[in-house]
Amino acid sequence: MKYFFLSEGWAVGRVWASEGLWQITAWRRQPDIQRISICLVENNELLWLYRVEDAILTVEVKPTTSAITASKTIGQVVLKRLMSAEQVIDRLSTAEAKCQLQNMQSVVQ
């Protein structure tokens, strides 16, 4: 598995595997990308942890409509260096604050 952190208000766009852009017809399924119920808080921003399958090499992320309205500076970002589990543990250990979904429900609402 590979991992990445994604800011609240951003969503996954296109996905690439070793053969190129992910083709649902060729793979016969969507790519396995799951948001895990763990996040970091940095500079008052929520960064959610996502898990992706090993076949995924690159992930495009882009702001949702509400995030675009708030900040019109970035249209999309391509993540080429996904993290290993060890890198995630290191990152979590040095984070300003950590949260889990059950703790964040009051903040998100």
Tens-digit pLDDT profile for the chain (109 aa)?
999 999 988 999 999 999 999 999 989 999 999 999 999 988 888 999 999 999 999 999 998 876 555 555 667 889 999 999 999 999 998 887 777 554 444 444 3
What's the predicted TM-score (pTM) here? 0.81
CA Rg, the chain, in Å?
Answer: 15
Domain count, the chain: 1
Closest to 83 measured CA to CA, from 29, 9, 19, 6:
6
Residue 100, exposed/middle/buried by CB under 10 A (0-12, 13-18, 19+)? exposed
Structural domain containing residue 16:
2-108
